[in-house]
Structure 1
């Protein structure tokens, strides 16, 4: 009789466990431009760093949503109503990684913003995220491949990167310094070898670009990984909301 009772209790416990709802996954949202975005297969080997960043996340407890889009600025991302649906999905403790600047800073583009507009738009993203108790993290834009005659990397995002730093300080939100750190990576590679980090292809080298490609802005798979490694390391150090515990740990060296 006692054995039967124990069996029933165990069975009831197992049935109860089957109906327990697992805790919701931590969400990381990425918003920004083409250097961060997911790419269509027809664009390969062009790779957004957000695609590689997702590989650093423990998918058992975290999910990454990459909403970055080619050609977008802080202004056009708002105007096209890409931000509001994200805000509606935000939960307390979620992380929002925000990287704009490439398109905001080019005055000839229709999606360009003035420095004042740029700062105002960033403040809007921050305010909306904080209202949902999510954690916004600003990121200075990834460097373009631009060397001077002496082989020294040039900062093509100087003004808008500084604006991002000022907004981060004023709004008291975490800042990832991708611009300066990516420049350091490019300088290490040098003017010639740094082409491996970008979408540089010779004629006939890849079927997606039969005429070849010379692109100093968008990354190869290797370049995207290098950028993602910077973001990952910075975010792990900052550890906003304890997010570092949701990353995969590196494999110990033997």
Structure 2
């Protein structure tokens, strides 16, 4: 078993998850001085349950880089979602029912918009159209939309350099941000640079890799080049948080601890994921 796995299983009971369910997100009971950072996205950002430890999404890890006394993270990212299917499932409406003036909405899609099934969107037409719904909805409620391009997969060329896999979707999001005057965190470029520095073997520390019989949640082993283990989720969340701070997209001091080492045990895995509204 991975040495840290036992500690991770204990850690999940250490405190409440920084993830609000539809029943307790928003409404008159939220203290007026607190900021909520909502995350709308797919499986790479989603919060994963305890029976998938150490699998984690960057939205699940984001709370470790925010001042817990001033901000909450309400991670609504859903595995398998595209910008289109998230809207069609009513999940954007659920966020807009909870979001308040001064809150933030991080919008990150692309992985499943690329699929050729009913979730598909075209980069420069329907993808931008759906993303505009998130932007308009957040602004209508006095909240701050922030576009986040899709995190890059673990893919390398013959020379050992990280290579892109998202086609025109990141560029389409950047173009939309420029035209709508919405800040964009280019997580595609940031993550690809990180993977390039880590290298072919080094990136296995970030992605969900385990040998057979080393993890009870993945007894047959796993080699996943899209999703993260806790370390990877933390480091991708660090990239997102660093840009929120560097570009002054959030109030001073809201982002913290960017330069500290964060153990895997800092993450919380709930027993189950709340059923989306």
Same fold (TM over 0.5): yes
**Which one has a larger percent strand, Structure 1 or Structure 2?**
2
TM-score (norm 1): 0.87
Alpha-carbon contact 1:178-1:231 (below 8 Å) kept: yes
What residue is the counterpart of 1:74 in the other structure?
83
Whole-angstrom distance in 1 between the partners of 2:80 and 2:251: 29
What residue is the counterpart of 2:104 in the other structure?
95
What residue is the counterpart of 1:16 in the other structure?
none
Residue 124 (str. 1) matches residue 152 (str. 2): no
Residue 248 (str. 1) matches residue 253 (str. 2): no
Residue 114 (str. 1) matches residue 122 (str. 2): yes
Residue 42 (str. 1) matches residue 48 (str. 2): no
Structural RMSD (CA): 1.6
Which structure has more relative contact order (CA 8 Å, sep 6+)? It is 2
Q: CA deviation at 1:250?
A: 5.6
Whole-angstrom distance in 1 between the partners of 2:136 and 2:147: 13
Compared with structure 1, are the counterparts of its residues 136 and 22 closer, same or farther at alpha carbon in structure 2 (3 Å cutoff)?
closer
SS in 2 for 1:219: strand
Compared with structure 1, are the counterparts of its residues 158 and 209 closer, same or farther at alpha carbon in structure 2 (3 Å cutoff)?
same
The structure having more radius of gyration, on CA atoms, is: 1
Residue 156 (str. 1) matches residue 165 (str. 2): yes
Q: CA deviation at 1:251?
A: 7.6
TM-score (norm 2): 0.80
Which segments of 5 or more consecutive residues in structure 1 lack a partner in the other structure? 1-20
Whole-angstrom distance in 2 between the partners of 1:192 and 1:29: 33
What residue is the counterpart of 1:216 in the other structure?
225
SS in 2 for 1:200: strand
Q: CA deviation at 1:110?
A: 2.7
SS in 2 for 1:245: coil
Which segments of 5 or more consecutive residues in structure 2 lack a partner in the other structure? 1-29, 261-277
Alpha-carbon contact 2:48-2:57 (below 8 Å) kept: yes
Q: CA deviation at 1:237?
A: 1.4
Whole-angstrom distance in 2 between the partners of 1:29 and 1:112: 23
Compared with structure 1, are the counterparts of its residues 68 and 156 closer, same or farther at alpha carbon in structure 2 (3 Å cutoff)?
same
Residue 187 (str. 1) matches residue 196 (str. 2): yes
